[in-house]
Amino acid sequence: MKHVVERVKVLRVDEVAKDFGKTVQVGDVEIALFRLKNGEFYAIENRCPHRGGVLVEGMVSGQHVFCPMHDWKIDVTTGKVQEPDHGCVNTYKVEVEGDDVYIVF
């Protein structure tokens, strides 16, 4: 069985400041797209596994975002919650081509 890859343009590079995120909707999936200080983009599920906090509203520090509801620290590169808390969020592959940013499923 062949795996089908979907590549969806979600925004332009200059639409997200470094150390910030932006919510993008792809079909019925709400994604938090973050641009780190080094300019790299990472995409994760936009809901904290704890109580559903909107992660794109959290503060970005390094490669982590802090949930705005209860300060859970989530690694945007892996989706893993930092201990002593536990859990993870889905991650999505991001590709940048020229000035365009894509989510790949």
Q: pLDDT of 37-59, one tens digit each?
A: 999 999 999 999 999 999 999 99
CATH number of 7-104: 2.102.10.10
- Burial of residue 39 (number of CB atoms within 10 Å: 0-12, 13-18, 19+): exposed
pLDDT in tens, 55-102: 999 999 999 999 999 999 999 999 999 999 999 999 999 999 999 999
pTM of the predicted structure, to 2 decimals: 0.93
Strand, helix or coil for residue 22: strand
77-105 as b/e: b if 16+ CB within 10 A:
eebbbeeebeeebebbebeeeeeebbbee
Q: Where are the domains of the chain?
A: 7-104
Spatial CA neighbour of 95 closest among 9, 3, 2, 1: 9
